[in-house]
Structure 1
Amino acid sequence: MTLTVDLNADMGESFGAWTMGDDAALLHSITSANIACGFHAGDPDVMAKTMKAAVKHGVGIGAHPGFADLQGFGRRRLQMSHAELRHMVAYQLGAAQGMAALAGGKLRHLKLHGAMANMAAEDALMAQACYEGALAVNPDIIIMVLAATAQQEAVHSLGCTWAAEIFADRAYNDDATLLDRSLPDAVIHDPAIAAARMVEMVKAGAIITASGHEIPTPIDTICLHGDTAEAVQIAKATRAALELAGITVAQFKGRT
């Protein structure tokens, strides 16, 4: 049986005159794009430009909502009620759908960003609240979840279409959550190391943690962060290594 995996990147995270990442170069290697919705990063002009470029390259468009925290890039933990989370996600998804239509495309998926995603990976009820906001706006949206975490529990409870994600450029704890960025080796900068570990995980059908522990999981998509300095090199190396190993790189279809 041929293995297939999607390659996604977080992008559209520039703001006004401030540039973040090399989205144009990334679009040559990836198959799905998670585009910031203006709360943690991005603005209407950046969203329009990024989505138009994604459509041109045949890359799947996804909404990437986060906390309203431009200064902290959405990576600071905020305490919010479930109602507030539903509204925040629904608002950003609505904006992303509008901008995708303007760009001549259609929104395929949603993926939470930063601290919102990390907190939802630990709290299934929080994750469910976020996803309820998205599904109320678009019942057919594919929810991209951090594999083997509470996010996955939430989509099972909701019965929605979903895709399981692992990270090329981040190290894992033994509970499938990500090592805190403040810890040594939490972010992987070497493209060769990132690529090799992705081939190993996809073939194993498991997350391999920093301690060497294996966590069996579906793997539908691999993420790299567009704001990582080596993002373009990691994307190229990962795609090349997967294809060399006989693994097809293509957009995910979603699970139910």
Structure 2
Amino acid sequence: MSELIPYIPIAIAILAASLGYISGQRNGKIARFHQQVDLNLKEVCGPLFFRLHTIFKTEDPQQRESLIDSFSKDFSTSNPNIYKIGNKFLIDWLIENEYLYFKFKKSREVSDWENFWVQLHSLKVMAESEYWKNFDSLYGEYCWFQKTLTSNIFIRMWHETIHLLFQAMQFTVILSLIFSFYSFWDYFLQKRLPTGSVPLALLILALSLSLYGFFMVLGADINGLRNQRDSNLRKIIKRFAPRLLNFWDKEVLSSKRKIKVPKMYSNQNQP
């Protein structure tokens, strides 16, 4: 063992150099990813999502088909910027969408139109998901930095501490769940853990969940600042009770009833 001691500094130097190289590679890849996402949002994914949104909200059939013609031209396989989407599955879907639209334009059959529209709807869903994922990758912490960088150092430290504790409690809950499952498995099959392991595991799990809930309430605004996506609860309410969510947003959170709305402009000829 003493013979290996002189080689310890060399091993440490090699390990430090390796970790530095890996960290540098990772930081370089993240910086390149952010550049790609920025181009994606501005040049391809953003226009793709909003153009599809305009098509689906258009009710006039003639105007809608005109918009689809323009969309198919701008986002065809001849567009050299399509590769910037980055998502191969979405590109494949876009290619299939182009084929179905050409088929419909040639036949003008109702069945071909229905097949194309179903494909276009799926494309819209995927484009929306891709857009918000990229948006969150680039601007996920925008509100967080906007809040903390304009606050004094004590408020900033408070936010950072609560967020750190919240993340720690998430990890603790996961470990508690693993320990609980293992305790039950050992109690019925192995019998290796000391007596009372199951009640101890359940107690630790209960305490972890309680503390996790406490920090979730305490840092609710902080979690919202670090993540601009809707919470899972809001997604569920939006899916199954959209009217309730609409009432909450417009009547409870907003001050709509306190705002004096002016008369709208009418272009009808005055008598």
Higher share in helix: 2
TM-score band, normalised by the shorter chain?
under 0.3
TM-score in terms of structure 2 length:
0.20
Higher share in strand: 1
| Structure with greater Cα Rg | 2
